[in-house]
Amino acid sequence: MKRFLYGGILLAVLLSGCTAEKTESTASPSRTEAAWESESKIDMRTTMAPSTVPVTETETLPASEEETASQPQSTEASAETSAEPVTETAVEVTTEAANEMSTEAPTETVSTEEVLEVTTENTPETISETTTEAAAETTAEQVQVPDAEERMAVLSRYTNLALANVPDSRLNIRRRPGTGEEIVGTLTHLGACELLDETVTEADGIRWRRISSGDVAEGYVCESYLLTGEEAWKTALLNMPRYATVTVDKAYVRFTPDTGGGWDNRRHLLFEGEDCLLLLPDQPESGEWYHVYMTDIWKEGYISNTVCRVDYRMTEASAVDVSDARRYEMVEYAKRFLGFPYVWGGESFVTGTDCSGFVMLLYRKFFGIDLAHYSPAQAELGKEIPLSEMKPGDLVFYDTMHLGRVSHVAMYIGNEQVIQAFNEDRGIIITRYDFAEPLYLKRIIGE
């Protein structure tokens, strides 16, 4: 009996041991899987969320100007075809809201017809210097850019900085608030200006700000096309352009970064003191050539670093100067290209241009006015005048192809003479104004 009892106990013990071993062996994989899953989730968080790691501003420099400048919510474009010096692509603003000196981008509703103005004094009045200085200090600490000290030195010249926010266009400056007032200057996208005070003036349903910039001592621009405060400083630091300024009598901008190729590799001619925008970081590794953008012909090219100096500079306003002195200056500049080639559809003084392209380039360079590259369209602008009132820079239109409409344009230079891109055989030449019967004598700029 005892033997039977001991045997039963021994059997029970053995059975219980087997059950425990089986339970342990099934529980262990479960814990291992849970542990792996936990570790895996940690790894996934580390791998999938790089945004949790601090990144400096230099790692996220905007690829384009549009990424740093806020856009007006809505715009309505209207073309102006008066005799006034109005840029065809200029924009004007109507507004509904704009933070004068806030650190946020304007979010006003805007309608466009854009034109600006200026007066003649540069007397800053009530300016929020504390706000501006604080914005500059904050921005300098937050933004990490190459040559930060040099960039800050440029911005230190501004007390109350504002930037034009007009991608692919120009912001007009008017003499007084109002869309019908005289245009005295223009600002390109991210062009810098000084807010002369904090006053907002309402006119024509638009909020206007009084500014000073470049050659324009005082004028008014639409508020909703301005970046101000900290946003302006940060945008300026991140997007500050560098310019290459010619230091020799004349220098060629070339298609490729080398001196070979003869005339076929010469894209544009710059004279001493003229400059072009330096594109970065698109430079050859040798560093002997700068990749540049020529603002007067809107083309890219390369210029040797031995014929120019480079510096950071904020783009500022170009005054609409239609004085007689400016007209004669344009004529003398045009004469430098006598004998250069005629190319139908061309848009370069050096490699060639046609009649309307030649006029277009001159007006863009000297007056900041963008004429159409089409002589019949140019003939629709301005007002007709008699020969006795013609001034250098006025235009003469012809029907040289006998089509019953305008097919050619030349620029008057005085003494009953015109300069023109004539044809492929003769290139750019000077002739009498009546080498063919003129259809129209027209003044596009000034009174």
- Neighbouring-strand partners of residue 193: 162
- 211 phi/psi in degrees, rounded to 5: -135, 170
| Residue 314 confidence (pLDDT) | 95
Output the six-digit token pair for 74.
């809505």
Q: Taking the alpha carbons of 187, 193, 196, 202 in that order, is the dihedral positive or negative?
A: positive
CATH class as words, domain 65-239: mainly beta
pTM: 0.59
Q: Is 314 left (phi over 0), alpha (psi -120 to 50) or beta?
A: beta
In the chain, the amino acid numbered 190 is L
Note whether 65-239 and 242-312 share their fold: yes
| Residue 280 confidence (pLDDT) | 66
- Helix H segments across 144-192? 148-155
| Residue 139 confidence (pLDDT) | 54
| Residue 137 confidence (pLDDT) | 55
- In this structure, are residues 151 and 239 in contact, taking their beta carbons and an 8 Å threshold? no
| Residue 312 confidence (pLDDT) | 94
- Neighbouring-strand partners of residue 292: 278, 301
Domain ranges for the chain: 65-239, 242-312, 321-443
| Residue 297 confidence (pLDDT) | 81
Residue 51 per-residue DSSP state: G
Question: Tell me: the pLDDT tens digits for 362-414?
Answer: 998 898 888 999 999 999 999 999 999 999 999 999 999 999 999 999 999 99
* Nearest of 415, 406, 400 to residue 442 by alpha carbon: 406
| Residue 197 confidence (pLDDT) | 94
Cα separation of 397 and 226, whole Å?
A: 39
Residue indicated by tokens 């540069």? 122
Cα torsion 220, 225, 229, 234 to 10°: value is -130
* Nearest of 100, 313, 115 to residue 195 by alpha carbon: 100
In the chain, the amino acid numbered 188 is T
- Identify the segments of the chain with pLDDT beneath 50: 1-7, 9-131
User: What is the Cα gyration radius of the chain?
Assistant: 33
Q: How many residues does the chain have?
A: 447
Cα separation of 304 and 259, whole Å?
A: 9
Cα separation of 446 and 399, whole Å?
A: 25
The CATH architecture assigned to 242-312 reads Roll (2.30)
Q: How far is CA 392 from CA 162, 320, 377, 413, in A?
A: 36, 16, 21, 4
- 241 phi/psi in degrees, rounded to 5: -80, 155
- In this structure, are residues 410 and 418 in contact, taking their beta carbons and an 8 Å threshold? yes
Superfamily of domain 321-443: endopeptidase domain like (from Nostoc punctiforme) (3.90.1720.10)
Output the six-digit token pair for 215.
């050659």
| Residue 368 confidence (pLDDT) | 80
Cα separation of 383 and 378, whole Å?
A: 11
Cα separation of 140 and 314, whole Å?
A: 17
Cα separation of 225 and 282, whole Å?
A: 30
Cα separation of 244 and 4, whole Å?
A: 109
Cα torsion 34, 38, 43, 46 to 10°: value is 160
In the chain, the amino acid numbered 194 is E
Tell me the angle at which helices 229-239 and 148-155 cross, rounded to the nearest 10 degrees. 130
